[in-house]
Structures are given as C-alpha cells and as structure tokens.
Amino acid sequence: MEESNLSSNAQQWELEIVCKNTTYLNAVVKAILKYKRIDFQVIGVNSIGMEERYVVSLWCSWFSNLSLIAKDLYAIEKKQEKI
C-alpha cells in the first residue's frame, strides 16, 4: 500500500479480481478510475492450458470506497454474464 494510505486512521482493505478477458479488464479499470482514490495494479498471468488472465489488485482506505466499487463490480459481472 502507498505510504499515504498507511498513515490514515481509516480501515484499509485490499481486493484481487481475476479478469478472464480484456473486455472484463477494461470495464474493471474504468470503474476503478472513476473513483480516483483507489490504487491498483494490473498483472497479466499466463496459465498452462488456459487463456491469459489478468489480475487486478486494488487497495484503499475507508470501507465507503469499497462499497462504491463493489456496486460497479457487481454491475460489470452481471453484464459480462450476458455476453
């Protein structure tokens, strides 16, 4: 976590999301960028016998930020299920 988040009195949280394709990845990153206070990192992962996956690690302070991004992630998941 960044030092600015570590010095906060707020509860800190971390979350990892595995994106199965670039469409899902782009939607997740767009949702994260919307809030500006959530730090994140994207890592491409190759698994033997599987397509490339992307792991998005995100972290922040304040559970209110987690609540906001969770709503967006839920909407993304529902949309991706229809595709």
For residue range 10-69, list pLDDT tens digits in order: 788 999 999 988 899 999 999 999 988 899 999 988 766 667 789 999 999 888 888 889
Q: What residues make up the domain containing 18?
A: 3-82
Alpha carbon 42 to its chain's center: 9
**pLDDT band (50, 70, 90) for residue 79:** very high
Contacts of 11 (CB under 8 A, 6+ apart): 61, 62, 63
CATH number at residue 22: 3.30.70.120
The count of structural domains within the chain is 1
For residue range 55-74, list pLDDT tens digits in order: 999 999 888 888 889 999 99
Cα(40)–Cα(17) distance, rounded to whole angstroms?
A: 11
